[in-house]
Each structure stands twice: as structure tokens, then as C-alpha cells.
Amino acid sequence: MVDFRSLSLKQLRAFAATVRSGSVTQAASMLFVTPPAVTTHLKSLEKIAEHPIYQRNAEGLEPTEVGRQLLDAAEEIEKVIERTRARIEALNAGAAGSVILGVVSTGKYFAPGIVARFRQAHPEIRVRLSVGNRTEIIEGLERREYDLLIMGRPPAHIAVERDVLGDHPHVLIAAPDHPLVGDPEILPEDLLRETFLAREEGSGTRMLMTRFLDRVGGGRPFAMVEMGTNETIKQAVMAGLGIAIISAHTCHAELAEGKLAVLQAEGLPLVRQWFLIRRSDREPTMATEVLRRFIVAQKDRVLP
């Protein structure tokens, strides 16, 4: 039976640095220790794991399956330490606490406004905003990186407490001079002839778009071009490179200015919900609860 009672942070850091740098010598330099010290940590770690933790190949060092588990643990521990450091610094600076607020990419258009208003009302509490796509945010939630999260449909495999903030409509946008603008009877065949511009794999918006097109098109193929950000997608749609299904909250300014137009098709807009969530298995700090109550009380002002 593997006994992890002697496992240490120094061992994990030595292993992570060795894999990251590709050599014991460079890892020692990164950690300001001697190479023999790093070697000792690696041997001790392999003895604890009762299995090789890395192997050499033509490209350098590659962790084994056991080694990858240890690297994941090292990463999670470092994030916990960083979160603790930030909170202690906030307390030492006279703040009443700190909160890490995670937000899916689409929420970056309104989340900074929430943080700014909260800071005005509660300058004694520090809020750090962390933005990522849906997959990244869920992975962070699994690792307990966030105190609170603003996102769409919460993951089913994690028990969470949730507050509904409001509707989250997704619309089909095109350039104002697109032939389908103003057409009251857009058919599935019309849509399948178009090129759709979409976010990267793991994006919630892309998942919505794919499910919608699979449903209306009966599983028929459609042309898609992947783009990295909502801003790139909006500019590409304006330039006439294609059409896109996108959160209405990300393009409300361009729609109001006439730079983009909404296409009317059956089943659109796709309306989801915005949620404010936290893990159920984690007691909220007082600062977290203050921010949660603030956001819920102001939910009518939160969304564009």
C-alpha cells in the first residue's frame, strides 16, 4: 500500500521543475538548490509512489501515468498556496478578505462592471477576476480555484449552490448587408449554405451552436471556421466572412450601432440562464458571502 505521509512539497516542486525544464541541472537552478538535492527528491518521490514517475525520450523527460498524477497534485497545491497568500496579503493590508470570482469568457463583457461597483461599495474586500472558456472554468471549479463563479448551465458532476442572475440569449448575427437580413422565412437549407464562425473547442457558445445546427439540419454537415475570441468573430462577421451564433451580451453595442444585424430563424434566439454558483462542499468566507449577496441584489443591473 502506497504511504504518502512522507510526501513533501519540496519533492513535488523538484519533480515539476525537472519535467518543466527537461533536466535536473536546470530544475536545480530554478529552485536555487543543488542538482544532488533535486535527484534525492526525485528518488524519494519514486520510493513513495512505488513506481517510476518519469522516463526519458528523444524530446527529454516525460512523466509516466503515475507521474502525471503527482504533477496534477503539485499544480493544485500551488494554486491553494497562491490563493492563501493572496488572502493573507489582503488581511495584512487591512482588507476584510479576498474573493476569487471566476467568469466564463462571455461574461467578461459585464463582470468587470460588477467588480468595479462592488469595490466602491466594499473597498475593504479585494476581488480577483479569473476568465476562461467553459471547459477551463469547470476544470478550475473541480480544483476549487474559485470562491464564486458566473457561468451558464452548471456542471452536473459537481454539487453547487446556485443563484439565477437572468436570461442569457444567443443570437445569430450577420453583416448588415447580408442577403438573409430581414428575411422572415430563413430555412435550414439557407443556414447550411453559410459559413459559421465559431469559438474554440471547449467553448459553451460553440457547443450551443453545434447542437442547434445539428438539430435544424438533421445532422447534415455545415462549414465552420474556428476563431479564438468573440472580438475576432464579430470583426470577421462585419467583414462578411461568415455568420455566427453568439451571446447577445457580447455584441449588444455593435447591434445598437448597426454594425451587426440579427438574423431571424426558427428556434432563435437560444435562451439560456446566467448562474452565480459556488461549491456546496465548501463553506463560504464572509467576504465571499458579501459578494454573493451584492451580485444577487444587483442582478437586474448586472446584465447588459
Structural domains present in the chain = 9-74 (1.10.10.10), 77-167+273-302 (3.40.190.10), 169-271 (3.40.190.10)
- 95 has a pLDDT exceeding 60: no
Please tell me the distance from the alpha carbon of residue 300 to that of residue 304, in angstroms, as a whole number. 9
- 215 has a pLDDT exceeding 80: yes
How far are the Cα atoms of 26, 49, 104 from residue 177, in angstroms, in the given order?
58, 63, 31
CA 69 to chain centre: 22
pLDDT of residue 2: 63
Tens digit of each residue's pLDDT (9 = 90 or more) over 101-158: 999 998 988 999 999 999 999 988 889 999 999 999 999 999 899 999 999 999 999 9
Q: Over range 223-236, report the average pLDDT.
A: 94
How far are the Cα atoms of 63, 152, 270 from residue 133, in angstroms, in the given order?
27, 11, 19
pLDDT of residue 61: 82
Q: What angle do CA 120, 121, 123 make, to 5 degrees?
A: 65
Tens digit of each residue's pLDDT (9 = 90 or more) over 4-42: 778 899 999 999 999 989 889 999 999 999 999 999 999
pLDDT of residue 123: 87
Tens digit of each residue's pLDDT (9 = 90 or more) over 35-70: 999 999 999 999 998 889 988 877 778 899 999 999
Please tell me the distance from the alpha carbon of residue 108 to that of residue 186, in angstroms, as a whole number. 31
